[in-house]
Amino acid sequence: MSKPVVTVRGEAQLEAPPDLAGLSVTLHASGESADQTRAQLAAGSSAVSALLQEFGAALERSSTSGLHVAPLFNKRTPTKITGYTGTFTSSLVVQDFEALSPLIPSSAIQR
């Protein structure tokens, strides 16, 4: 004789506060020359670095994408460069949720 088999099925839902929050800060710049665009992004990245120093204890980790600058071309004359555009992105992982309230408005850097 075989032993009886008992099958149990169910579902559970667990609610808990989050452990980490991810933020991404992207700076956009444009200018007439690549040097001007790089200078704008360098100034913005310095402001982000200062922000990271200020809130460093609240961060689990941070990383940057690097600086990207590309030419903008004229639609009528595709070989003519009309300006330059660039971006710089920092990704932040916050572990201290008390710092989120002041960090988010601080990361909205106006230039």
- Tokens found for residue 108: 């909205």
Q: Which residues contact 79 (CB under 8 A, 6 or more apart)?
A: 73
Helix axes 34-54, 100-107, angle to 10 degrees: 170
- Tokens found for residue 94: 């916050």
CA 48 remoteness from chain centre: 11
Specify the residue for token string 């020359």.
33
Confidence (pTM): 0.74
Query: Domains plus CATH for the chain?
Result: 21-107 (3.30.70.2970)
What does the pLDDT profile of the chain (111 residues) look like in tens digits? 788 888 888 888 889 888 899 999 899 999 999 999 999 999 999 988 998 899 989 999 999 988 899 999 998 888 899 999 999 999 999 999 888 888 888 776 554
Distance (Å, whole) CA 18 – CA 23 = 14
Specify the residue for token string 């008992």.
6
